Structure 1
Amino acid sequence: MSVGIDIRPDGLAHVTLRRAEAGNAIDLETARGLLDAARACERESVRAVLLTGEGKSFCVGGDLREFARLSGAALEKHLLAVTGALHEALRTFAVIDAPMVAAAQGAVAGAGIGLAAAADVTIAADNASFTAAYTGIGYSPDAGVSWSLPRLIGPKRALDLLLTNRRVPVAEAAAMGLVSRVVPAGQLAAEATRTAETLGHGPTAAFGATRRLVAAGLTADLATHLDREARALAAAAASEAGREGVAAFLAKRAPAFTRVAPRT
């Protein structure tokens, strides 16, 4: 299988790209594997998602060798199938409550940038580098890259990366806001796992509400967004997690947030 998923008893889902020999390039099987993994996370109401790629690179983008075997209408049909599955996976990861942590090492290109950008927390190894790559081969973006990059780094910087395809070293990627933080390559797995585990023990529903508020706030007017915040806060305060969080704070102890039961 080109995508593996392991859902632990504590609710942490580890989703792994397993095409190390191909730089974890996304072919149709991988896109469908990501969709299956996203649906499993939604079905099991996981508490956090850790996305990693095996081998030297996180993800080098689409599988050009697969694409080159086709042409004309057959190629268009194939790419619609690949992006259809990949984009539905991204939509599913975006709407579940569980926050996502991505661990990026080595080459991160094309749709790999889209996967890294889709995570709520993206931890990069100090050997990582980022290249949009699309227009360099006459393609336009997919994997939400033309949506996420302008929001993360601004439209001018996004167009710089998308049009010139220049290689962005990890320090610059961190400075412009493309990644959350940088760690030594040897510490990447441990740091990403620790972060995902910490989030996995947190208030999952509150995390989901926060993710949706941040996403909605990018396009909403202030008055509308303030109303959304008020309603979300009231619901969170009245929830079991909200009551436990306040009780723990007042008692000066760590809160014990319980796992949400799987959806039916």
Structure 2
Amino acid sequence: MNQGNKERRKSPRFGQHKPATYPTGPATQAADPEATPSNGGVFHHPVRGAAGGAGLSMVSAFDLVVCGESAKFTMAYTRAGVTPDGTSSYFLARHIGLRRMLDLTLTNRVLSAQEAEQWGLVNRVVADDQVDQVTADLATQLARGPSWALGHAKRIIYSGCDTPLEQAAELEGVTITTAMSRRDGREGIAAFVEKRLPKFDGG
């Protein structure tokens, strides 16, 4: 289902997708070259039009998704007599749950933007002409945040899906201890105590 994805995403049927990854440090910092959707920096993605097949698989691989109010989502694979690909079995099932993924995959139902938000497939539904601005604002918020904490918080959340309780608790404890010893951690705690906005620098 990967062949020809680029052409399909440009067509009216599959809509136009502009995958966007933004660093979670200073706005001028390059994204971590080792980062992937399940490991490293925070990835987010604007959606306009429709996301079907590989387009939906791609959307599900992002951490945060902003979509326009007219967007629609469908799996479409079994309609074409094939099976899902594009890592949807890993990411999509985690975002919306097995039963809902089975529904999307086996029946090829089409979700509206509002249904996608209710299901946990997207994070924000905005007016179609506000998608780029809201995505840019989100990028700015992440870029000004504590980049180490954001990246490791994400890793904890993804690993927690498959990790035994004791190991999950241990990983949380080790990571928060490290975070509190870092410059951003100390700044965040001080800002909370002093009732002011923190100034993070990625340290």
TM-score by structure 1 length?
0.64
Does the CA contact (< 8 Å) of 1:90 and 1:118 recur in 2? no
Tell me the equivalent position of 1:99: 42
Letter in 2 for 1:92: T
Task: Classify the secondary structure of the residue corresponding to 1:95.
Answer: coil
Which of 53, 73, 98 matches 1:155? 98
Does the CA contact (< 8 Å) of 2:64 and 2:122 recur in 1? yes
Letter in 1 for 2:103: D
Deviation of 1:20 after TM superposition, in Å, equals 6.9
Does the CA contact (< 8 Å) of 1:100 and 1:196 recur in 2? no
- Distance in 1 separating the partners of 2:8 and 2:202: 32
| Deviation sequence 1:37-82 (CA, Å, 0-9, x none) | 98xx8xxxx327xxxxxxxxxxxxxxxxxxxxxxxxxxxxxxxxxx
| Deviation sequence 1:70-102 (CA, Å, 0-9, x none) | xxxxxxxxxxxxxxxxxxx99724322x21221
* 1:128 pairs with 2:105: no
Q: Which runs of 5+ in 2 are unaligned?
A: 1-5, 26-32
- How well do the aligned residues superpose, as a CA RMSD in angstroms? 2.7
Q: Which runs of 5+ in 1 are unaligned?
A: 1-16, 26-33, 49-88
Which of 195, 198, 223 matches 2:138? 195
Tell me the equivalent position of 2:190: 247
- Distance in 2 separating the partners of 1:112 and 1:176: 17
Task: Classify the secondary structure of the residue corresponding to 1:102.
Answer: strand
* 1:181 pairs with 2:124: yes
Task: Classify the secondary structure of the residue corresponding to 1:140.
Answer: coil
Distance 1:19 1:112, change over 3 A: closer
Does the CA contact (< 8 Å) of 1:109 and 1:133 recur in 2? yes
- Distance in 2 separating the partners of 1:258 and 1:116: 29
| Deviation sequence 1:223-260 (CA, Å, 0-9, x none) | 11111100000000001110111122223222111146
Deviation of 1:138 after TM superposition, in Å, equals 1.8
Does the CA contact (< 8 Å) of 2:69 and 2:128 recur in 1? yes
- Distance in 2 separating the partners of 1:99 and 1:24: 29
Task: Classify the secondary structure of the residue corresponding to 2:36.
Answer: helix
Distance 1:121 1:134, change over 3 A: same
Which of 28, 31, 47 matches 2:24? 47
Does the CA contact (< 8 Å) of 1:18 and 1:24 recur in 2? no
Distance 1:132 1:91, change over 3 A: farther
1:1-264 → structure 2 map (5 Å cutoff): 21-22=10-11, 46-47=23-24, 92-96=36-40, 98-259=41-202
- Distance in 2 separating the partners of 1:234 and 1:18: 47
Q: In the comparison of the two structures, how many residue pairs are matched?
A: 187
Task: Classify the secondary structure of the residue corresponding to 2:38.
Answer: helix
Does the CA contact (< 8 Å) of 2:38 and 2:158 recur in 1? no
Task: Tell me which of the two structures has the higher relative contact order, counting C-alpha pairs closer than 8 angstroms and 6 or more residues apart.
Answer: 2
Structure having the higher helix fraction is 1
- Distance in 2 separating the partners of 1:94 and 1:23: 30
